[in-house]
Amino acid sequence: MTQSSICNHFIHGKIISGNVYEIVARTADLTDQDQLNTIVETCQLLFAESPNANPQMKAIGIFWYQESIILLQAMYAINANKQFVTDAFDRPFHQYRYVLIPIDFVTNHLRGRTFRLLSWITQQPIPLFPKQETNLQPLSIPHLNQGELDKEVKKIQKCLTETNSQGQPLLLSALAALLNQQRILIDSIPETILPTFYLESILLLLPASLRNYFSVAMGYLNEEYCQWAKLIIKFNGSPQKRKFDEDLFWLNRNTKKLEGKADQYTQRHNFVDDILRPIANATDRIPELLKRLDEITDDVGTLENPAYLKIVVRLIPVLPENLQEKVWEKWLPEKAEDEWHNIIQLIDDSLGLFVAWNKLGNYLKLDSVAQLTEICELMRQIWMRLPGDKRIQILQKLQEKENIFVAEKLLKSNFLQWHPLEAESNELISEICQLVQQTWISLPSEKLAQIIPPIQQDIFLTEKLLERKLLQWRPLEAETSELISQICQLIRQTWISLPGDKLIPILQEIQQNIFLAEKLLESNFLQWRPLEAESTEVVGKLRILCKKVVTHKSQQNWEQGWKFATCLAKDNIFREPKESFLLLDASFCTDVLAQHLYNSFNFKFAPLLPCVEAMTILESQWYQQLKSEGVQVAELLKRLLSQRNDVLENLQQLAQLTGINDAEKDYLYKAFLVNWVPSFAEARKLLDTIISDIQLSGNKFSRSKLEQTCEWFENEKPELRDIFYNLQQETIDWSTWEKLSNVLYENPQDCADLLDRVVGNIFPKKVMSKWLTIITNEEDLRKVFLEKSSVWQVLEHGDFVDIVFSSPQYAATLTRCCRDSGRYDWIKGDLLHYLCHSSIEQKHMDEDLKTLVTSPNIVERFTNEDWWNLQQLRWGLKFDLVLPFKDLTTTDQLKELIFNQAISIVNNFTEPEYRQSLFKDCATWGLNSEQLKLIAIQVVKSFTEPEQTERFLRGYSLDKNEQKKILVEAPSQAYNVGLILPHLYCNGKVIAPQEEPKLVQLLLQAGLGATGERADLKKFFVDVLINQILPNNNLIIALKRWREQVIATHQELYEEAFSEASQEFVSKISARNYCFESFIKLAKYIIMLDQNELSKEADLMYRAFLKTIPSELLPRQLSAK
């Protein structure tokens, strides 16, 4: 596109002061005068009003003429001063300019926007000429901007707002009428949408190449003289008359309708209704519509005969998506015409191509198609332009039952060779394969045979079809031999032709057809091509194929399947143990007898098991059946495979349960030892278990029966050779077994465990001695020992006692063993003796043992000796323990023993409560009173308070004499007046002080604590005086002796007591007889007291005496005194 265009033009009018209308000026190239006159006659613009109204009044127009666009300009002749110029008759005249614009300029530069030219020409004056000019300067049309799309869209949207009574835009109605070869007149109404908006909108809604054919007259004009114009824009009011031409509509914007003589149906048009109206309803699509219309610059006919199909196919994609398919169906041809070739090239929409394909495909549904080749070619062109998703839709539709014969014709026409399948997507390839599959399934055998050759030509396709289970699409067993032969040939040809990495799909396909697979294997399928150089995946698939066939045959007959598997296992592809195992395992797809499962441990499976991964075996069919038929065997094998060398000993039980013979056992053991390569530490448990089993079963060990196994162990530990020899002897001594345990194990516990299991019942005491050094102070080990040890289970009480004697240091351990195993009746006698004495020596016993040996279920079986052992434990450890003695029959010898022990240890107890407890125990044992008294004395010596002594004496059944003897030994702080006084009375009468001098002495030394003790002591003094001293014939001696004891600590109390005793004494004498003899007797007492240095007592007695004699009886001297 250039910046400007140089155009020829000519002017029709008058020269200045001329008298006729003629061509007054032209460019030099316009030499054909007749042609120019024809142009003038064809298109005229006549003014409608007088020029006096508007001196610049003008009209413009544009029309198509012989491959050019003529731009027409009409106006009054005016000079530079805007004044009218007159002709020879002094009248204003019109000037007309005709500009010939090249069609390419309008199409390519303006995209048919001729209204830009109209706008431009209005600004250009028409020059005046005094004479004719034949060398007029060409007119230069500058670069005219096409316009901004947004503004153009807004103008269209604005015009669309003016609608008729049915709500239809007047713009679209006018455009429909124009396309129906009607003409439109639009007048100018103030304050409404500019008529030029309608002009621009109408042109813009047409393809760019059709806009050039659109003729327009616009300005101050008379519509009667504008019949050449398709669209008339009238600025000078309404039409001048109401009788329109047959083809003229007036767009009356006052009444909002088109007025004219033509049928109203001319206001509807398919192009408008199907394309423009839906887009106008979705105004956001108008910009895309204008872009596409601008791009239609090729030949699409003329306005009178437009090629609508060529236009519509490029605009349908702008429609709302829900309308597109319907419009495609409506507009695309219904017949196989030549027009298809052109239309297909214009369709750039996948949906359109898809609809076009379907329309053409309908022709192929006919049994006989005359244009089969041509139609298939058209469909090929469409196919090549379709995107992947639409191709997939087509392929899916072809798979429908009603289209199966269309698919057949396409396949016969090399549809599969239209393009290389390798470049297509997986999804599309999948749909093609699906199409072939549907055809393969639906066609009869004879027609199917016709499409196999094209398939065979494409190895890639064949490969894909085989991947999609081609051989499963039809049951081959029911097909003819010819078809089966062709299919086999297809497989063989593909198998031979494809590289190794492409064989997998074939194998996968064959795997799905057991009937075919079995025939192939029986026909040496494995030898069709050398497999040594093939990939592991190919070999793997072949193995899978073999296993499937084995499975199939085994389901029919297990023995035949097993035999077939053993034959296939000889092939090199099964030389690896795992693959051989899996092949053999395939035969166990059906339930078999348990013995068949066990037999698998023989020479067939034995060398495979240690070489195959555990998960492979555990997930195998063989193992699954083993879990059902031989649960214990399955569990053992699982443990063995999962823990491997850590549990090799399970091999022995595995061999035993499966019932294999000695040779097979030896082979099985050797296979695992050689392949798993355990260390001796890992393998020794196996040897342990083998020997243990033989020994416990009562059989003799035979090296020759386990030669391979023994050789392996001898290579690890040469010293085993001699041991194996000794184990074969009739008599096996303890040292052989001990050596075996020491060779096998470094850990004493493991040694003891072996000996326990193997010879625990033969050498129980020796084995038990081994265990005691291990389980002492190890509670967990002890519990395990008690639970699992065979020696403990068979140990008899006599052997147990021997063990206690020989190993007294383990008394605590043995006690706990008895407790934990429930042998409570063994916890007594020597065991209890050593337990108690060792605890005393150690000055400690664990709480659990204390609780145990004193619990009711233990002590109920105790003898006196057992109780005595427990008693010594209590005293030795000084713990608080209530002995639940019952029915003790203690001998004097035992009592003496207990007494001596108690006396020897009592002083070791500094706490009074421990001494009291010891005394209580001794009392319980039934010691005699003398023995108890001696112990009680030691108890009281520990007291620090009188209350302790009182509670002690009250708590035990000691007679008065024993209590007195105990009290006299008590420390001063351990007794008081109240505690001693009761022992100085007998039957309510006070005893003579000389009878209990020690008690009296303690009494006089005792302090007075409680408030009442002084009165009690005073009363005691009074009682002694009245009952023991005063009536005594040896009064003076007795009184002095008593006085001497008392006054040292209680002089005041003594005097008070003597005074009170004197009164009572005198009163008793006086009460009997107030005679003179009584007085003489009392006087003698008083005199005797006074004469024997007891003047105080004499005085007190005298005073008491005087108080008892009435005054009238007394002599005057005494009374006065």
Ramachandran quadrant class, 547 (left: phi over 0; alpha: psi -120 to 50; beta: rest): alpha
DSSP annotation of 128 reads: P
Look at residue 1121 in the predicted model and tell me its pLDDT. 44
> With b meaning 16 or more CB within 10 Å and e meaning fewer, what string describes 344-374?
bebbebbbbbbbbbbbbbebbeeeeeeeeeb
pLDDT at 24: 94
What is the rounded CA–CA span in Å between residue 50 and residue 211?
33
Cα distance between residue 111 and residue 656, in whole Å: 100
For the four alpha carbons of 363, 366, 367 and 369, in that order, the dihedral sign comes to negative
Radius of gyration of the chain (CA): 70
Q: Which residues pair with 1090 in a beta bridge?
A: none
Q: What is the pLDDT of residue 1006?
A: 73
Residues across the chain? 1121
Helix-then-strand count for the chain, H and E: 59, 14
Please say whether the beta carbons of 311 and 207 come within 8 A. Answer: yes
Amino acid at 906: V
Token pair for residue 70?
């003529």
> Domain map of the chain by residue range?
5-141, 149-290, 337-443, 627-744, 1013-1121
Phi/psi-derived region of residue 597, left when phi > 0, alpha when psi is between -120 and 50, beta in every other case: alpha
Pairwise CA distance, residues 857 & 871, whole Å: 17
d(CA 830, CA 502): 88
Contact status, residue 349 vs residue 317, Cβ threshold 8 Å: yes
Question: Which pLDDT score is estimated for 924?
Answer: 80
Spatial neighbors of 1069 by CB under 8 A, at least 6 apart, are 1078, 1081, 1082
Please, which residues have CB within 8 angstroms of residue 340's CB and are 6 or more apart in sequence? 333, 356, 360, 378
Question: What was the pLDDT predicted at 1037?
Answer: 80
Question: Residue 528 is encoded by which pair of tokens?
Answer: 């069709």
The pLDDT of residue 368 is 63
The pair phi, psi for residue 831, each rounded to 5°, is -60, -45
- On whether the CB atoms of residues 744 and 750 are closer than 8 A, the answer is yes
Report whether 215 contacts 65 (CB < 8 A). Answer: no
φ, ψ for residue 82, nearest 5 deg = 65, 25
Query: Was domain 149-290 assigned CATH 3.40.50?
Result: yes
For residues 315 and 1107, what is the distance between their CA atoms, to the nearest angstrom? 162
Tokens found for residue 2: 């250039």
Query: Cβ of 174: how many Cβ atoms within 10 Å?
Result: 24
User: What contacts 811, CB < 8 A, 6 or more positions away?
Assistant: 804, 831, 834, 835, 838
d(CA 58, CA 51): 10
pLDDT at 3 (0 to 100):
57
d(C-alpha 133, C-alpha 26), whole Å:
6
**Beta strands of 591-721 (E only): which ranges?**
none
pLDDT, averaged per 10 consecutive residues of the chain (1121 residues), comes to: 76 90 93 92 68 64 89 90 87 92 86 89 90 92 78 91 90 92 88 89 92 91 86 84 78 86 81 91 89 89 86 91 90 74 85 86 72 81 84 85 82 79 82 85 80 79 80 78 75 78 78 80 75 77 87 87 84 86 87 75 76 89 84 88 90 85 88 91 89 81 87 91 85 88 89 88 88 88 88 89 89 89 89 88 85 84 84 79 64 85 80 80 80 80 74 73 76 71 78 78 71 74 79 77 78 79 76 61 78 80 75 53 44
What secondary structure does DSSP assign to 1002-1017, as a single string?
A: HHHHS---STTHHHHH
How far is C-alpha 320 from the geometric centre of its chain's CA atoms?
Answer: 46
- Residues of 601-639 as b/e, b for ≥16 C-beta within 10 angstroms? beeebbbbbbbbeeeebbebbbbebbeebbeebbebbbe
| Rounded-to-integer distance, Cα 970 and Cα 966, Å | 7
Q: Is residue 165 within 8 Å of residue 257, measured between CB atoms?
A: yes
Q: What tokens does 936 get?
A: 């009680």
Distance CA 458, CA 424 (A): 14
Rounded CA gap, 62 and 342, in Å?
32
State the pLDDT at residue 887: 61
**What are phi and psi for residue 74, nearest 5 degrees?**
-135, 135
